[in-house]
Amino acid sequence: MYIEQLVPTPKHAVGEKYDERVETARFLIDQGFAKAAARELPPVEVYWSVVQDEIRGTVCLVAKCNRDACGSYRFFGDPALLSQDCYRYHHGCLEPPTPPPANIVRAYEDSRLWCISDSAL
């Protein structure tokens, strides 16, 4: 549980925010030594890239959010589907879904065409 220290202790100064075990945090809050604190999250940044999958060898679109709670997103489908809402990157940190930028979609289309024409040889 994330708490803010209200009384100085040997380990923590007043105003310090940190994670504590739930039982200990509840005890500190009940005794008036700490209060529950909200996490200050960094602004959302999504990093997009076009990579070739190591296992299958196919080109995929990859997205990763800079927040710890988020996972990554991998897309292997038709680039025309990327305009639909269901294929946007849905965050694990509860931010609204993020569509891929146009330059990344173009790079993905070009890479897929190159990969398909190369495998047809």
**pLDDT at position 118:** 45
What is the residue extent of each domain of the chain? 2-36, 46-119
Rg for the chain, CA atoms, rounded: 22
| AA identity, residue 47 | Y
Task: Find, among 62, 49, 61, 46, the residue nearest to 95 by Cα.
Answer: 46
**pLDDT at position 26:** 93
CA distances from 111 to 10, 50, 57, 108 (A): 57, 8, 12, 5
**pLDDT at position 116:** 52
Is residue 11 a contact partner of residue 18, using CB atoms and an 8 Å limit? no
**pLDDT at position 13:** 92
**pLDDT at position 115:** 61
Give the pLDDT means over successive 10-residue stretches in the chain (121 positions): 89 90 91 88 89 83 87 87 87 87 91 60 39
**pLDDT at position 101:** 92
Reported for 98-104, long-range contacts at CB under 8 A and 24+ positions apart, including other chains, are 98/44, 98/46, 98/63, 100/48, 100/61, 100/63, 101/48, 104/48, 104/49, 104/50, 104/61
- Alpha carbons 78 and 101: distance in angstroms, whole number: 16
